[in-house]
């Protein structure tokens, strides 16, 4: 046949990969190298922590939000979305129960006799006792499509 560049590159890459694996295997078993690597990782992590602290101070000084502020806001917002979904479900359940006739539905609210209502108070039934249209069905996901329904 002749020269096939794909086979040549595959063989060359295989040899390179083997040599690199042997080199790193030898280095990772060397305690001196590992000690130096460990120290450099520690120094890098300390430097990153200091940099993050300085950036946070700078952002606060300029009255800008920090990553922690955004994370706290997201947690609060997610909690509020969950509570809203739970409340919508409860309203829907109450609405279904109120629309059923008979003992399953709420009792008719007691009305005061004509002319006995206190001054300034309405004799109309309480708003919670009035029948409402059922809330439209909503999924338990937030705008990003993540499930936010709490486990019970």
What pLDDT is recorded for position 3?
83
Backbone angles phi, psi at 52, to 5 degrees: -60, -40
* DSSP string covering 36-75: HHHHHHHHHHHHHHHHHHHHHHHHHHTT---HHHHHHHHH
What pLDDT is recorded for position 151?
46
Digit-by-digit pLDDT tens for the chain (152 residues) are: 678 888 889 899 999 999 999 999 999 999 999 999 999 999 999 999 999 999 999 999 999 999 899 999 999 999 999 999 999 999 999 999 988 876 654 555 556 556 554 444 444 544 444 444 444 554 445 555 555 554 44
DSSP-derived 3-state class of residue 35: helix
CA distances from 123 to 35, 96, 105, 128, 129 (A): 83, 26, 22, 14, 13
Instruction: Compute the distance between CA of residue 146 and CA of residue 152 in angstroms, rounded to an integer.
Output: 18
What pLDDT is recorded for position 81?
97
| 95, two tokens | 């609405």
């Amino acid at each position: 046949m002749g020269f096939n560049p794909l086979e040549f590159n595959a063989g060359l890459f295989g040899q390179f990969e083997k040599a690199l694996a042997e080199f790193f295997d030898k280095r990772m078993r060397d305690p001196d190298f590992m000690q130096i690597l460990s120290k450099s990782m520690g120094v890098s992590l300390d430097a990153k922590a200091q940099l993050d602290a300085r950036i946070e101070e700078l952002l606060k000084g300029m009255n800008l939000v920090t990553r922690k502020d955004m994370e706290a806001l997201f947690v609060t917002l997610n909690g509020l979305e969950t509570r809203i979904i739970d409340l919508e479900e409860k309203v829907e359940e109450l609405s279904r129960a109120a629309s059923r006739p008979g003992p399953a539905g709420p009792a008719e609210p007691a009305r005061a006799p004509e002319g006995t209502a206190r001054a300034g108070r309405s004799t109309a039934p309480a708003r919670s006792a009035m029948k409402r249209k059922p809330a439209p069905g909503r999924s338990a996901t937030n705008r990003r499509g993540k499930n936010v329904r709490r486990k019970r």
